Structure 1
Amino acid sequence: MATSDRLLGYVESRKNLTGSVCGLAGVGIALTGAAGGLWPLVIAGLYAAGALIAPPERPDTPHFPDAGEQLDALRDDFATLRAYLAEVELPSSSRDRLTELDALVEALLEPGWVSDPEHLHVLARAVRQDVPEAVDTFVRTRWWSRVTPGTEPPERHLERQLSALREEMAAIAAALQEAEELRQQTHTRYLEERGH
């Protein structure tokens, strides 16, 4: 199978096509009688010369998802995360912090807001890694703290982690708000200057 794919690839290659065109020119020369008895060598030589001068094959440029495609995938992952979090038993204070974080992430994932790669990376890391790990670690640690009482309650760490994540998301929201305000001010200045 791999051999037939390679053979088919060569048949369609630039080198073969250019060599074939040059080989056909050799057939034309042979038909005129200019090549004499050496016509097979002329055809083969012209084919080889054409194959050698042909530009090399260029591999296709890889396709990487753009910001919109990345956001679509991230929204799907966020829906999966929400389904997971709905099943986890959390203390009310942690649940409140998680609800605030959830609302902020949901707003940031709305189409048309986040396009900066760094912001997108921070959002993806929060949805795909930070929040699931924080909650899972809490669930595991809480089980062990029941077995060995007297240690620091895992709720405190979870609340601190969720607060830190919310601050990170709030920083993205503030940057987006600042960019929109700057855009609005620039447009106002443009309209005012255009009128004069």
Structure 2
Amino acid sequence: MATSSGAGRAALAYLESRKNLAGSACGLAGLALTLAGVAGAYWPLVVAGLYGAGALIAPPERATPPPFGPREELGVLREDFARLRAYLAEEELPAEAGGVLEELLELYGALLEPGWVAEVLAADPEAVHAVARAVRQDVPESVDAYHRTRWWDRLAPGGASPEGHLERQLGLLREEARRVTADLHEVEARRQQTHTAYLEERGGSA
């Protein structure tokens, strides 16, 4: 019964497919040629050939891509951010770099906090990409590279300061996060200005 049911679904799917519809249209054209006296005695071959040609040229069926919404993406990003914070809580960093990092994490946390701010963030794919890249790659890479370089620096001192590089990297990420925040703020400011202009225009035309 399961095999019969599966075969029935497959047959029904083919009947509704683009290949069958295109082949049927071409087959009908073959019947029209037959009625017009063009196909002659070979009309079955003409109809079958046209059906096959139509089925071959029809575009293949494609599955509909699953809808990945921005809220789902931010949900995954929040989980990654929580793991990043847990990782950083176990790391010892110099005081100055630690202060910059804390400010940076506060910015990310404010942007990812569920609510209307996150909805504004979700509406800007570039901003989401920037935050995701920083959380998943840039921040952990900066901290890990600092600890690795610091270990080697103990064996061969005198090179560039690992602390200086870490602070510079985190400072650049903080500047990027501030730019993202400023851009999102600008979006809301333009929205407010647009609404003000609309109300003024509506009031003037009343």
TM-score band (shorter)?
0.7 to 0.9
TM-score normalised over the length of structure 2: 0.70
State the Cα distance separating 1:142 from its structure 2 match: 1.3
Look up the match of 2:120: 113
Residues 29-73 of structure 1 show CA distances to partners (whole Å, capped at 9, x for unaligned) of xxxxxxxxx8xx765653442232346133425457343333233
Residues 190 and 88 of structure 1, relative CA distance in 2, 3 Å threshold? same
Distance 1:43 1:71 in 2: 59
Asked if 1:80 is matched to 2:83, the reply is yes
The aligned residue for residue 91 of structure 1 is 94
Which sections of structure 2, spanning at least 5 residues, go unmatched?
Answer: 1-9, 32-40
| Residues 17 and 186 of structure 1, relative CA distance in 2, 3 Å threshold | closer
The aligned counterpart of 1:5 is: none
Query: What is the CA distance between 1:167 and its match in structure 2?
Result: 0.5
Aligned residue pair count: 177
TM-score (norm 1): 0.73
Mapped contact 1:19–1:50 kept (Cα < 8 A): yes
* CA root-mean-square deviation: 3.3
The answer to whether 1:15 aligns with 2:23 is: no
Match status 1:57 vs 2:64 = no
Percent sequence identity is: 50
Please identify, of 11-20 and 179-188, the stretch whose mean Cα deviation from structure 2 is larger: 11-20
1:61-110 CA-to-partner distances (Å, cap 9, x unmatched) read 54573433332332222222222212222222222211100010122224
For residues 128 and 16 of structure 1, the distance between their equivalents in structure 2, rounded to whole angstroms, comes to 47
Distance in 2 of aligned mates of 1:71 and 1:45? 57
- Provide runs of 4+ in structure 1 moved above 6 Å: none
**Residue 185 of structure 2 corresponds to residue 154 of structure 1:** no
Amino acid in structure 1 at the alignment position of 2:167: E
Q: Give, in whole Å, the separation in 2 of the partners of 1:129 and 1:59.
A: 38
Residue 15 and residue 182 in structure 1: after superposition, are their counterparts in 2 closer, same or farther (change >3 A)?
Answer: closer
- Partner of 1:35 in structure 2? none
List alignment gaps of at least 5 residues for structure 1.
1-7, 27-37
Q: 1:143 to 1:186 in 2, by over 3 A?
A: same
